Structure 1
């Protein structure tokens, strides 16, 4: 026959339960900060009504929204030339190139050559973007840059005399090189304004 008194166990459960409630309550007030005291029924409604989301939800949409806001805020915008469709087409090309293209690298001496390939819309994006960006890289860096379109993509060749630059080029790889420089944003604005053709 078990003569153990069950009361000590019950007391232990009550103490542990109380400690758990206390820890949860303290955690709530620490995480909630100064707003924890807003306990009125309308407090949370007021906060949610006054808040504005900042995330537009998708990167291409965000880029277009930023450009549209700039155009709308500029009193000199010539709306007869604005072409948001051209910007969108370019953003589609950027997406296809980044996510769909394949790139193989070969290094010979002081030249790094990338062979980029793809099909369908990816191929179109390669043909549109690689030669144009090659010109930007040639202006941007102390490199000799050449491009050539092929039936299945393009060839991007970069020559540099400094071995550390060859190491940098190889580390960046094709996709890092395509992102190099800050010319994309001005080009996006110019495309949307209808004042340029380009990648």
Structure 2
């Protein structure tokens, strides 16, 4: 009896061992199978677009700018910027609007490059010229000097403006060309105007009047060349 029970116990133990071994074999086969199984995810290929892969930020900005008109918030009152961001750019932009709104504009004569060159001269004289001014009887004199492009701008622009201003308010305006610039003189026979002239100084006198705007429009229309 005891021998029979022992044989049964040994048989049960052997069967259990066989089951454990079989399970381990199945796990090993499954692992091996998963390693050999191709990846089921789609294979992605990244291709660089010639000329665009170097500046993704610039591409993104350009794309956004091209679609800005689709944004309704940009067309609400008070939401649209009014400044061009750069003075000369804005001045030319204004002239272009005037020319395009005028059906009589002769586009074969339009010369916006002359206007651009004149605006460069204005920038040179306004910001880069060296100005020394002093009082004289009836007004003031100013030595306006520079070199390179600044000198050329002074000698083109200051005498032309002197001719345009001469006679206004009874003033006498003169511009004498110097090797390195222009000697600018403005005088009046009236004491009140003498104080006015000295208070304005060189740049204040140069910017007076509304002839500048008409001058720019005439230049853009090709009525006369830059440098006159």
Fold-level match, TM-score > 0.5? yes
- Once residues 137 and 48 of structure 1 are traced to their aligned partners in structure 2, the CA distance between those partners, rounded to angstroms, is 43
Contact kept in structure 1, 2:129 and 2:150, CA below 8 Å: yes
Alignment deviations for residues 1-38 of structure 1 (CA, whole Å, 9 cap, x no partner): xxxxxxxxxxxxxxxxxxxxxxxxxxxxxxxxxxxxxx
- Once residues 115 and 158 of structure 2 are traced to their aligned partners in structure 1, the CA distance between those partners, rounded to angstroms, is 17
1:136 aligned residue: 164
Give me the CA root mean square deviation: 1.6
Q: 1:72 aligns with which of 100, 105, 111?
A: 100
User: SS state of the match for residue 141, structure 2?
Assistant: strand
Whether 1:153 aligns to 2:181 is yes
Where in structure 1 are there 5+ consecutive unaligned residues?
1-44
Whether 1:179 aligns to 2:207 is yes
2:73 aligned residue: 47
Contact kept in structure 2, 1:86 and 1:191, CA below 8 Å: yes
**Matched positions, count:** 155
Cα offset, 1:144, TM superposition: 1.4
**Relative contact order (alpha carbons < 8 A, sep ≥ 6): 1 or 2 greater?**
1
Alignment deviations for residues 153-184 of structure 1 (CA, whole Å, 9 cap, x no partner): 00111121112211111111111111011100
- Once residues 49 and 161 of structure 1 are traced to their aligned partners in structure 2, the CA distance between those partners, rounded to angstroms, is 55
Whose radius of gyration is greater, 1 or 2? 2
Alignment deviations for residues 86-133 of structure 1 (CA, whole Å, 9 cap, x no partner): 000000000110000111112232242111111111111100111011
- Normalised to the residue count of structure 2, the TM-score between the two structures is 0.64
Where in structure 2 are there 5+ consecutive unaligned residues?
1-70
- Once residues 208 and 148 of structure 2 are traced to their aligned partners in structure 1, the CA distance between those partners, rounded to angstroms, is 25
